[in-house]
Every structure is written in structure tokens, then in C-alpha cells.
A and B are shown apart, each in its own frame.
Chain A
Amino acid sequence: MASDRGDSSQEPGGPVALVTDEERMEGATSAAALASSSTDLIADSLGEYTRIWLRRVRGGESGVLPVVLGLAAIVAYFQIRNSLFLSAGNLVNLMTQAAFIVTFGMAEVFVLLLGEIDLSVGFNAACGAVVTLWVLSGTNPPPWWVGVIAGLAFCAAYAGIEGVIITWLRLPSFVVTLAGYLGGLGLLLALIDLAAPNSGGTIRLTNSVLNAIEGGSMSPAASWIVMIAAVVLAGTFMRTRDARRRAHKLAAPPVSVTILKIAVMAIAGVVVVLICNTNRSVGFSVVEGVPWVVLVILVLLVAMTILLNRTRFGRYVYAIGGNAEAARRAGINLSRIRVLAFMLCGLAAGISGIIYASNLGGMSSNFLGGQYVLYAVAAAVIGGVSLFGGRGRMLGAVLGGLVVGVIYNGLLLLGFSAAAQNIWTAIVLLAAVTVDALARRGSGSSTTR
């Protein structure tokens, strides 16, 4: 799977893009040539930004655009087929259904960026969830966070051991985590048997805090406050960063672009909160507010994005995925970063397992660990994460997970069978990979992976 890693750099002048217009700039002054910068940094106005953005999209650097468009198309289709699809009740239901697939997808990003894969996340997560529930079971259980820490520690350790085997023995992650997958299934059966003997292979979640992740919601007022706080924080961060760049005489994105981005965030937040704050009860009681799981995913997304984009660890993950030999020559400890990435993958998977248990009110030995792993990889790939390493973002995995969740929910709503659900997910996955590959090919970008 990562066999072609490093190939691209074997020949110096080999497969590189022909940036002819830049070569013609050879006579340009250094100031003019150097002052400009990437994506938003080259533009000095909104119009210019849009033009550059369009060119990048045509050039294959489309970012999350395909998955957003695909999501919109799928949503539109389901809404036409069944007008209940876009009802507040179903949308909130969708969010809670998709939540664990979204977090599984986020977990997989860490290892996919390295050009590795972790097939064991599903059963690893299930085992971690059982550990959590086990710790929290009994007549006098410890506080919820003790159980969560125990479960997450188990998951991180399980994936960490796989990572150590992969890096020290230089074995393919595909095979090692396949073993981890089988071992995880066995361990799950054994753990449930130990934790809840004679229960028929299920262990119940009795902790009210963890049950509330999927079952409970913030109050409408709290939902608004959290949303506004999140947008203000993100907006302040972006404005401060731009100001700092300008203060150091570096190219910063035009103010209008930054404001537009903040506006998009605010609109998305308002829409989500408006949907969730609608009373979705079918009985006499009132059910409203943003489910806690949405906040959990938002926090995870922000934390992991910061980790990947703003820390040395994240930078090295991308570097190793791009060219492991270059990273090694730069003095980076490849083994350490790889093991850490596997541990983080396990950690995120553990959170996913707890969300799953929260949704079902327990964990069962019927857990479809194999299928969920493939959903996780599908979510990441649909979201634009490359299977060959070095390319992709956390946000992509979240959107990709949403796509998988929407297909699942929508086909269920339309009364399709499990057979149709899987076939449609397969088709969307293929379409996503094809669009990505065609866009890259069209761009003549250096790597065809």
C-alpha cells in the first residue's frame, strides 16, 4: 500500500509539474516574486481570491469542495424522495447515528496520512468501550471519567503495540492490524464474557453522563451560547493570525476573505443550532437542543486539526507521508512519530467506541467491527484523505463520515435493505476516489497517488 512511497523523489527532474508561467517570471524582482504566498495569500482582493480558488479547483487542489457538493447532492436526492429527510427530528437522528463513523474516520486519518492503515480500529474501539463500561459497572461505580480514561488508555495501548510491531519489525501495517483486527474480535468476546458473564454477550452502559453524549442535548440557550462562543473564538484566532502576519510584513489573506470564512462558519453554526433547537418530540414532552455528541465532535475536530497543522508532530506526520526518506534525513525520529500516530488513532477510535456504546446503551459482541473499519476508511477517503499518505485534513474525514451517515440514514428512511445501503456506499466511495484521482491527473500534479 505504501510501496510507491518515495518513488516520486527518485529522479530530480522527473515527474514535476510544468509551471511554465513561473519560469517566465525569472526576470521578476525578488520582492514581487517572494511577497506572494499560497491559497489565500496570493490574492489581495475577494475577486482575485475567487479566481485563484477556481484555478486551484480546476487544477485538482479542490480541498473539501467535492465532498461538500456530493453531500449536497445526496441530501437533495433523499429530500426529493422523502420529505421527512430534512425534518429536524431526522437530521438530529442523523447526527447521532453518524457520530461514531465520523470519529472512526478521524481516527483513521492519523495513520492514513503516514501511508499506513489501521484495520483494527473497530474491535479496538469495542474492546475499549467494554473496558469503560466494565469499570463503570457494579453497585458503586467510580466517576465517569475514570472509566473513559481506562477505556481510552486501553485503545491507545492496543494501537501503540501494533505501531511498535510495525515500526520495529518493519512489517506492513495492513497485515499487523489485520492480526489486530482478529485478535480484537477474540478479545472483545473474552472481555464481554469476563465483564458481564451470562449476559448473552452484552454489557450495559449505566452511567448517565456517558449515556447523555448521544441521548442528551444542551439546552437551547446553552446551544446558542456555545455556538456563538465557538464562532467568536475561531474568528478572533483567524483575525489575530492575519494581523500577526501583516505585522511581520508577510502576505496575509485579504480581510474580505477572512470575513467571508467567519461568516460561513457562523451561518453553518446558526443552521445547526436552529435545526437542533426545533422541538423534535413526537409525544407531549419537549425534545430540543444540540446533542452533546455534536459538541464532542467539534472539540475533537478543533483539537486534532491544531495537532496536525500547528505542532511539530503533525508536520512530521505529513512529511513522513510525503517522503519518509526526506523526513529521515531531516533528523526526524520516524519510529516515534509512527507509534505516536498509531496511538492517537487508537485514542480517537476509543472515543468512537464510547460514542457507539452511548448510542446503543451498551456494547455487544455482535459489534460489526469489520464493517465499521471500512466505513471509517471510506469516510476518510471520501473526505479527500489520500490512502498513500501525506494528503488530507481532519475536516475532510468529518464531512466524509457525514456522507456515509447520510447514505445510511437516507436509505433506511426510504426503506432500502442493508444490501442496497452497502452497494450505494460502495458506489459513492468509488465516485469519490474517481473524482479525486481525475482531478489530480488533470492538474498534472507531481504525484499520481
Chain B
Amino acid sequence: MVNLGKPDDAPSAPADGAPPGADFGQPGLTDPSAPLLRLRGVGKSFGPVRALSDVDLDIPAGQVTALVGDNGAGKTTLIKCVAGIWEASSGQILWNGRPVHIRSPKDATALGIATVYQDLALCDNLDIVQNMMLGHEPLRLGFLDETSMEKTAQQTLADLAVTTVRSVRQTVGSLSGGQRQSVAVAKAVMLDARLVIMDEPTAALGVSQTELVLSLITRLASRGHAVVVVSHNLNDVFRVADRIAVLYLGKLVAQGPSSEFDRQSVVDIMTTGASTRRGNGDGSEPAGTRGMTSGLED
């Protein structure tokens, strides 16, 4: 009757191969120039099914990283591991160079990871302010402080240059798809998110709505947020992405600056796991990934 706890109730894998984060045990190793989020050998199994294996991924701040792959390639599994919906079965997650364990969505939120799912999780019957502040309402004398809520919400929307909503007191149900997406992003950013993960943000949006969301994504990155966009739409990916990471059958087969890719090479890698057209010629082991790790491991 109530779709309570759908993601949490999903089969959670045994934590046998838990990331040996403590092995490195050197929390002082924070490198300011390092990527905000690094995945090292992250894997995820559901019983005998290996949905992800050995994923090494770098997500730098201030850039848009596009995560692409065919259906079933493991995109959603990967972002759910980062967002704390599922716990990774193996491997290590480094946040600011520091090993972390993300076991629940709360852990992710506490780190500054915000995820905007495809279903957006907005209440149609509440207005924009109420949706953005949901769960974090400031109180004044024990009652909701609508004035400060509205100011905070307006400020966040203005910072993101979301100007298409006529009123922040409109109900979300009356908004267009792109506007809803904007509200969901603003809601995520407002909680001091440093990494914003967006799952298929432009799916099911019209042309002008897509424009709206793409410009929002660019703006997020230029404000210093790390942005991960999961998308099927290569047009959109090449429009906004600074980096592209390609998943193929649960493995990360390519990643690098988007200038190293073109549409055909991405399609090749998505469908076959490799491409001969890749700029640096090395489709499966992108340069730089291993090199960056060594500094930590030594």
C-alpha cells in the first residue's frame, strides 16, 4: 500500500568483501589537487551476479563527468553505491583522498553527496519552497519559519539562475518537467552538496526543457560542484561533459576528458567494450588513472 523503503529493501549484498579502508589508515593524506571522489576497484555483487567489478573512477570537482553505458552496464548500480543506497561489495571509495564507507543515504548526505534520481522525489502537492526545504524546515518560536524558508529557497534558485519559475510558491505539480528537474537539483545543492549525481536528467524532456537542464548542469560545475550525469543521450553528454566514463558489462572500460572521445568511439565502447577510434588508442586502460593512485598506495 505504501511504497516505503523500496531502495533500502532491495537485496543487500553481504559485506564480506568490505573495502579495506583501514588498511591504508593514513587519513592525513589529503591531496588538495586530487579528485573529489575516487573509486578504486569498486565491485558490487548481488548473490552470484556481479553487477560491477573493479571500477576505478575519478570524479574531479568543478567538472561534469558523464557516466555512459548500455542498459545493464551498471551505471545505476555504480551511482547507488556512491549514494549509499547499496554498499559496495569490494573496493575502496576515497572522498577528498580519504577512505570512506558509505553505508546509507545519510552517510552520503553527510559527506556532501546529493543524488537526483530519475523520479525526482518531489511532492506535487507542495510548493517549490516546501519541497526544497522538506525535512530541513527552520523553526521560529516552534513554528515553521516560512519567511526564512522562502528567502533561502529563492537565494538558491537565484544562484543557480533558475529563472523560469514564475513563483516559488507554485505547487510543484504545476511545473514543467525541466522546472521540476531544476527544483530537484536546487533542493540537492541547498544541502551543501559538493557532488551532485543526476540520473538521466534529460530523459523524457522536450527540447527547451533539455536546454534548461543542461545549462543548469554546466552552471553547477562552474560553481565548483562535482557533477556526475548518467545519460543515454550522447548529444547531451557531449554538450555538457568535461569527462566521460564508459561502463560495459559492469566494467569501466574507458574514461578521460571528453575531447579524447567522439560520438562513434563512445558508441563503439558502449556496445563492444573497446574502440579503435579512440584518440589515445588505449580504450580499456585510460592513461592517468593508475598513475594517480600510486601516490596514495606507496
The interface of chain A, by Cβ under 8 A from chain B, is 1-3, 5-6, 8-14, 16-19, 22-23, 25-26, 28-30, 33-34, 36-39, 41-42, 170-173, 244-245, 248, 250-251, 306, 310-312, 315, 318-319, 321-332, 334, 390-391, 445-447
Q: Across the interface, do B177 and A12 meet the contact criterion of CB distance under 8 Å?
A: yes
A2 to B127, CA, bound (A): 22
Distance in angstroms from B191 CB to nearest chain A CB is 10
Q: Does B125 contact A (CB under 8 A)?
A: yes
**In the complex the two chains form, what is the Cα distance from A101 to B7 in whole Å?**
42
If A250-B150, A311-B143 touch, whether A19 touches B3 (CB-CB below 8 Å) is no
Set of chain B residues within 8 Å of A3, measured between Cβ atoms: 1
Q: Is A23 within 8 A of B176, CB to CB?
A: yes
| Chain B contacts with A in 142-185, Cβ cutoff 8 A | 142-144, 147-148, 150-151, 154, 157-158, 161-170, 173-181
Q: Are A25 and B164 in contact (CB under 8 A)?
A: yes
- A325, B119: Cβ atoms closer than 8 Å: yes
Complex Cα distance, B178 from A447, in Å, reads: 18
Contact B181 A327 (CB under 8 A): no
CB pair B134–A319 under 8 Å, yes or no, is yes
Tell me the complex Cα distance, A371–B122, Å: 37
Q: Residue on A with the closest CB to B109?
A: A331
Q: Contact between A329 and B173 (Cβ–Cβ < 8 Å)?
A: no
**Cα separation A9 to B131 with both chains bound (whole Å):** 13
Determine the chain B residues whose CB is within 8 A of the CB of A17 once the complex forms: 173-176
B237 at the interface (CB under 8 A from A): no
- Is B49 at the interface (CB under 8 A from chain A)? no
In the complex, are the beta carbons of A16 and B4 less than 8 A apart?
Answer: no
Question: Which residues of the partner chain B approach A9 to less than 8 Å between Cβ atoms?
Answer: 119-122, 124
Residue with the highest number of chain A CB atoms closer than 10 Å, among B130, B158, B169, B180: B169
Q: Contacts A12-B203, A12-B204 given: A319-B126 contact, CB under 8 Å? A: yes
B48 within 8 A of A: no
CA distance A151 to B91 in the complex (A): 59
Contact A16 B175 (CB under 8 A): yes
Distance in Å: Cβ of A82 to nearest Cβ of chain B: 41
Using A244-B147, A311-B144, A329-B105 as known contacts, say yes or no to A172 and B125 having CB atoms under 8 A apart.
no
A328 CA to B119 CA, complexed, in Å: 13
Most B Cβ at <10 Å: residue of A34, A41, A251, A311: A34
Segment among B15-23, B35-43, B205-213 that sits at the interface with chain A: B205-213
Evaluate whether A30 and B2 lie within 8 angstroms (CB atoms) in the complex, with A12-B180, A22-B176, A326-B123 already known. no
B158 and A446 form a contact (CB under 8 A): no
A-B contact pairs, 7 of them (CB 8 A): A12-B120, A23-B208, A26-B212, A33-B166, A38-B170, A318-B125, A447-B173
Minimum CB distance partner of A329 in chain B: B121
Please give the distance in Å from A443's CB to the nearest CB on chain B: 9
Query: Which of A34, A41, A170, A319 touches B123 (beta carbons < 8 Å)?
Result: A319
Complex Cα distance, B116 from A412, in Å, reads 58
Inter-subunit contact A328/B5 (CB<8 Å): yes
The one of A245, A315, A328 that contacts B4, using a Cβ cutoff of 8 Å? A328
Given A5-B3, A26-B212, A250-B151, the answer on whether A310 and B143 have CB atoms closer than 8 Å is yes
Q: Tell whether A445 pairs with B123 under 8 Å between CB atoms, given A3-B1, A250-B147.
A: no
Do A321 and B166 touch (CB < 8 A)? no
Nearest to A59 among chain B residues (CB) is B174
Using CB atoms, name the residue of chain A closest to B119: A9
Report whether B174 and A445 are in contact in the complex, using a CB–CB cutoff of 8 Å. yes
Q: 0/1 per residue, B239-269, Cβ < 8 Å to A?
A: 0000000000000000000000000000000
Given A41-B167, A170-B1, A330-B134: A322 touches B123 (CB 8 Å cut-off): yes
Is B135 located at the chain interface by the 8 A CB criterion? yes
The 7 A-B residue pairs with the shortest CB-CB distance in the complex, in nearest-first order: A38-B169, A13-B177, A330-B135, A322-B123, A446-B173, A13-B204, A322-B125
A16 to B181: give the CA distance in the assembly, Å: 12
